Amino acid sequence: MAQLWGGRFTKETDRLAYRFNASIFFDRRFLREDIEGSKAHAAMLAKQGILTAEEKDRIVSGLSGILEDVEQGRLAVTEEYEDVHSFVEANLTARIGEAGKKLHTGRSRNDQVALDMRLYVRGQVKETDALLKELLQVLQELMEAHLETYMPGFTHLQKAQPVTLAHHLGAYFEMFRRDRQRMYDIYRRMNYCPLGAGALAGTTYPLDRDYTSSLLDFFGPTANSMDSVSDRDYVIEFLSALSLIMMHLSRFSEEIILWNSNEYHFVEIDDGYSTGSSIMPQKKNPDIAELVRGKTGRVYGALMSLLTTMKGIPLAYDKDMQEDKELTFDAIDTVKGCLALFAGMVRTLRFDKRVMEESAMKGFTNATDAADYLVGKGVPFRDAHRIIGELVLYCLEKGKSIEDCSIEELKKLSPFFEADLYEAISLKACVERRLTFGAPGKAAMEAVIARNREYLEEEWA
Host H or E run for residue 154: strand 150-155
CB closer to ligand ARG out of 34 and 55: 34
Rounded least distance, CB 323 to ligand ARG, Å: 8
Cis peptide before 316 (omega within 30 of 0): yes
Please give the C-alpha separations between residue 36 and each of 112, 293, 404, in angstroms, as whole numbers.
11, 37, 72
Outline where 48-164 has alpha helix (H): 53-71, 84-96, 98-102, 109-145
Rounded least distance, CB 210 to ligand ARG, Å: 24
Rounded least distance, CB 117 to ligand ARG, Å: 8
* Active-site option among 38, 85, 156, 261: 156
Phi and psi of 366, rounded to 5°? -100, 15
Which residues, including other chains, have CB under 8 Å from residue 345's CB and lie 6 or more apart?
Answer: 256, 269, 270, 273, 288, 289
Among residues 132, 302, 310, 321, the one that binds ligand ARG under rule CB under 6 A: 321
| Planar angle of CA 30, 39, 18, nearest 5 degrees | 45
Phi and psi of 459, rounded to 5°? -70, -65
Binding of ligand ARG by 322 (CB under 6 A): yes
CA distance 264 to 158: 13
Are 84 and 6 in contact, with CB atoms under 8 Å apart? no
Host H or E run for residue 152: strand 150-155
CA 431 to chain centre: 32
CB closer to ligand ARG out of 197 and 427: 197
Rounded least distance, CB 321 to ligand ARG, Å: 5
Binding of ligand ARG by 83 (CB under 6 A): yes
For residue 315, with 0-12 CB atoms within 10 Å meaning exposed, 13-18 middle and 19 or more buried, which class applies?
A: exposed
Rounded least distance, CB 5 to ligand ARG, Å: 9
CB closer to ligand ARG out of 235 and 374: 235
Residues 18-47 that bind ligand ARG (CB under 6 A): 23, 27
CB closer to ligand ARG out of 203 and 322: 322
Are 79 and 22 in contact, with CB atoms under 8 Å apart? yes
Binding of ligand ARG by 59 (CB under 6 A): no
CB closer to ligand ARG out of 27 and 36: 27
Please give the C-alpha separations between residue 207 and each of 10, 100, 106, 116, 210, in angstroms, as whole numbers.
34, 19, 8, 19, 9
Rounded least distance, CB 228 to ligand ARG, Å: 13
CA distance 117 to 30: 8
Span interacting with ligand ARG, options 73-81, 105-113, 121-129, 295-303, rule CB under 6 A: 105-113
Rounded least distance, CB 10 to ligand ARG, Å: 19
Span interacting with ligand ARG, options 207-215, 315-323, 358-366, 408-416, rule CB under 6 A: 315-323
Span interacting with ligand ARG, options 10-18, 59-67, 249-257, 317-325, rule CB under 6 A: 317-325
Which residues, including other chains, have CB under 8 Å from residue 24's CB and lie 6 or more apart?
Answer: 77, 78, 79, 81, 82, 83, 84, 86, 87
CB closer to ligand ARG out of 33 and 83: 83
CB atoms within 10 A of CB 351: 18
Which residues, including other chains, have CB under 8 Å from residue 389's CB and lie 6 or more apart?
Answer: none
**x/- map, 371-410, ligand ARG, by CB under 6 A:** ----------------------------------------
Residues 107-166 that bind ligand ARG (CB under 6 A): 109-110, 113
Is 278 an annotated catalytic residue?
no
CB closer to ligand ARG out of 81 and 273: 81
CB closer to ligand ARG out of 36 and 83: 83
Residues shown for the chain = 461
Rounded least distance, CB 19 to ligand ARG, Å: 13
* Active-site option among 230, 277, 278, 426: 277
Is 214 an annotated catalytic residue?
no
Number of chain residues interacting with ligand ARG (CB under 6 A): 9
Residue numbers of the site for ligand ARG (CB under 6 A)?
Answer: 23, 27, 83, 109-110, 113, 317, 321-322
Enumerate the active-site residues.
156, 277
